Amino acid sequence: MRHLFVSPHYDDIALSCGGTAACLARAGQAPDVVVVFGAEPDGTVPLTDFAAFQHDRWGLTPDQAVAGRLAEETAAAAQLGTRFRLLPFQDAIYRGDRYLDDEQLFGETAADEADLPAHIIAALDLVGPADRDLRLYCPLAVAGHVDHRHAFAAGVELARRGWDVRFYEDQPYALQPGTVEDRLAEVAAQGIRSEAPILIDVAATWAAKLAAIFAYRSQLPVIFRDYLHGGDAREEIAAAMRAYAEQVGGTSLCERMWRLTPLPDPSPRP
């Protein structure tokens, strides 16, 4: 069986299911990662203030932003044993003036982007009949970042067409108590049923997962800002991630994924 991890951004797989990917790599399964929204911004269009603010927080100049994140992804992939490639889509902060603050970035997707999940499926070359020898891992879109929502919608559509899709809990968003439950309620309100969760024991690859997470130096101070209290940053991040993995894992360290059953397409094409 082949395994394809759909990563909205650089860093999402290491953070959310890096332990699972590393387990597969160690078992000789050669997992693939595809970064959906990692393309260079259009250099002829000025950055919005919001995009410039994000670069500032990452400590990267516009010229360095994608190259810097690509270098981080390469280092993380080496830790996990994954191979990755990029799809030709830009991060939400580069897609014109659709998303201009955190509220919009974690709100509803723009109405004129309704076709984006279909474009993602096409770019993944998954438009044909379901291949049951391929397992896909897509974000549950916990906390609702718009790029994660688009990747989630692509995963739901593929599940609807019979593909084997598992939805991983987006980190570090899922560390916040109640966020996963809130997201599952939102998903249920869309008529999508969640099955019993799947727990993957990742104790054996926990160290590799943390090493991969630590490769994303530009991102850590921003995404873990609620968990950094002035001590050793790596220890504080490791403690936050471990606490969650123990909470879902009980006696071991686990990553949790969900299988979703969407209702049949309400408007089947003839």
Beta-carbon neighbour count of residue 79 at 10 Å?
21
- Antiparallel, parallel or unpaired: β 260-262 and 192-194: antiparallel
CA-closest candidate to residue 13, choices 164, 170, 223 = 170
Cα–Cα distance, 191 to 202 (Å, whole number): 31
Residue closer to Zn ion by CB (options 105, 121) is 105
Supply the minimum distance, in Å, between the C-beta of residue 178 and Zn ion: 20
| 3-class SS of residue 126 | coil
Residue closer to Zn ion by CB (options 143, 192) is 143
Regarding 8 and contact with Zn ion (CB under 5 A), the answer is: yes
Cα–Cα distance, 99 to 90 (Å, whole number): 12
Residue closer to Zn ion by CB (options 46, 88) is 88
Token pair for 109 = 């997707």
Q: Which of 5, 6, 9, 254 binds Zn ion (CB under 5 A)?
A: 9
- The conformation of residue 124, written as its DSSP 8-state character, comes to T
Q: Which stretch binds Zn ion (CB under 5 A): 3-11, 73-81, 158-166, 226-234?
A: 3-11
The torsion of the CA quartet 69, 74, 75, 76, rounded to 10 degrees, works out to 90
Supply the minimum distance, in Å, between the C-beta of residue 145 and Zn ion: 6
Residue closer to Zn ion by CB (options 8, 19) is 8
Q: Which stretch binds Zn ion (CB under 5 A): 5-13, 114-122, 190-198, 248-256?
A: 5-13
Supply the minimum distance, in Å, between the C-beta of residue 114 and Zn ion: 20
Cα–Cα distance, 17 to 7 (Å, whole number): 10
# chain residues binding Zn ion, by CB under 5 A? 3
Helix (H) or strand (E) holding 24: helix 12-26
Residue closer to Zn ion by CB (options 9, 183) is 9
Q: Which residue is nearest to Zn ion (CB)?
A: 9
Regarding 12 and contact with Zn ion (CB under 5 A), the answer is: yes
Cα–Cα distance, 264 to 270 (Å, whole number): 14
Supply the minimum distance, in Å, between the C-beta of residue 92 and Zn ion: 10
Regarding 169 and contact with Zn ion (CB under 5 A), the answer is: no
Supply the minimum distance, in Å, between the C-beta of residue 89 and Zn ion: 13
Q: Which stretch binds Zn ion (CB under 5 A): 8-16, 47-55, 159-167, 210-218?
A: 8-16
Residue closer to Zn ion by CB (options 226, 232) is 226
Give phi and psi for 6, each to the nearest 5: -95, 115
With vertex at residue 206, the alpha carbon angle to CA 200 and CA 209, rounded to the nearest 5 degrees, is 100
Supply the minimum distance, in Å, between the C-beta of residue 8 and Zn ion: 4
Q: Which residue is listed with tokens 């993380």?
A: 76
Regarding 262 and contact with Zn ion (CB under 5 A), the answer is: no
Cα–Cα distance, 216 to 220 (Å, whole number): 6
Supply the minimum distance, in Å, between the C-beta of residue 49 and Zn ion: 21
Supply the minimum distance, in Å, between the C-beta of residue 128 and Zn ion: 28
Cα–Cα distance, 189 to 39 (Å, whole number): 32
**Interacting residues toward Zn ion by CB under 5 A:** 8-9, 12
